[in-house]
Amino acid sequence: MTVQRRPRLKAEPAGKQKLRLWIRLLRASRMIEAELRERLRLTFATTLPKFDVMAALARKPAGMTMTELSRFLMVSNGNVTGIIDRLVADGLVVRTADEDDRRATFVRLTRKGTQNFEAMAGAHEGWVNELLMSLSREETDAMIAMLGGLGSRLAGGRRP
């Protein structure tokens, strides 16, 4: 009786390995994001960008300037303005002028916005837990540590 061995993966150059890692990270992230987008749409009739803006504002109950919000979300002011316009129209966010700088506008969640966000955030957390349930606690902790370290190194290497 012959024992069949699993074929070994060819040793690849480090650059190819890192490219493979990037593609897998991106694919997993996109799959999770697509599922979250769909669930937010079906359950709350909202979008992931609106959820992300509300999540950022929930972290700062006193509000943020549009520039702070854009930087936090790592998107342009133009992208944030359209989302804020829709959230204001829905009564979820309010704009106020900065008393010290007329050019700056503060945005913050309204009471209704806070209540809506809390409901969405609870569901979102449950969905993420469901989507990642196949990972053990140890795998989760290891990935948090590795990706946290990678993020820190990348942020440290940013150019002004």
What's the burial of 47, exposed, middle or buried (CB within 10 Å: 0-12/13-18/19+)? middle
Question: Could you tell me which residues are beta bridge partners of residue 50?
Answer: none
d(CA 154, CA 160): 13
Section 102-131 average pLDDT? 95
State the CB neighbour count (10 A cutoff) for residue 80.
22
Q: What is the pLDDT of residue 160?
A: 41
| Residue 75 burial by Cβ neighbours in a 10 Å radius (0-12, 13-18, 19+) | middle
E strands within 43-104? 64-65, 93-97
Collapsing DSSP to helix, strand or coil, 157 comes out as coil
pLDDT over 80 at 6, yes or no: no
CATH class of 47-135: mainly alpha
| Backbone torsions φ then ψ of 73, nearest 5 degrees | -85, -10
Q: Which two tokens stand for residue 158?
A: 């940013």
Q: The tokens of 31 are what? A: 């799959």
pLDDT for 97 beyond 90: no
Q: How confident is the model at residue 7 (pLDDT cuts 50, 70, 90)?
A: low
pLDDT in tens, 40-81: 999 999 999 999 999 999 999 999 999 999 999 999 888 899
Q: Per-residue confidence at 99, pLDDT binned at 50, 70, 90?
A: confident
Q: Please state the domain extents for the chain.
A: 47-135
